[in-house]
Amino acid sequence: MTIQPGQTIPAIPIKHVTASGIADATAAEVLGKGRVVMFTVPGAFTPTCHKNHLPGYLAAAEKFRAAGVDKIVCAAANDHHVVKAWAESTQALDRIEFIADGLAALARELGLERDLTDGGLGIRFGRHALIIEDGVVKFLASENVPGEVTASGAPAILDALATL
């Protein structure tokens, strides 16, 4: 079942990747304070995630801050080494924090998983974006077409923030 507005982010163990390094944490700890925008991607370095999804949030980071967002978090069902390498290669760590969900436990618990086993990738996050306030989901947007970044892209989420 997919997490819905009004529900609380669970305390699922994850790896938290920031400019300070990699730390063990729970999703509730990372996402539970203030106004957070989390977007989820099928995989670090994958074409749409790398060229379209993450760059939109990087470019709009200051607009999110101006809209009252305390932090932007990107979640990927990759191991923390890959997520860290992706964050560093895109120079994102000064503007975005990352959740490495290597076993897709958080993706499954939130109901935001996508089975890409046929393509050799296993269970991953689908492409989504959430607005979370003090650990409670306020808004969820999901993409329905693989490779598309519209509903979960930075411009759409900035629009959603303006209506909350």
* Domains in the chain with CATH codes: 13-163 (3.40.30.10)
pTM for the model: 0.94
Identity (one letter) of the amino acid at 131?
I
pLDDT of residue 98: 98
Hey, which residues are catalytic here? 49
Q: Is the pLDDT of residue 91 over 80?
A: yes
List, for residues 34-57, the tens digit of each pLDDT value.
999 999 999 887 867 768 899 999
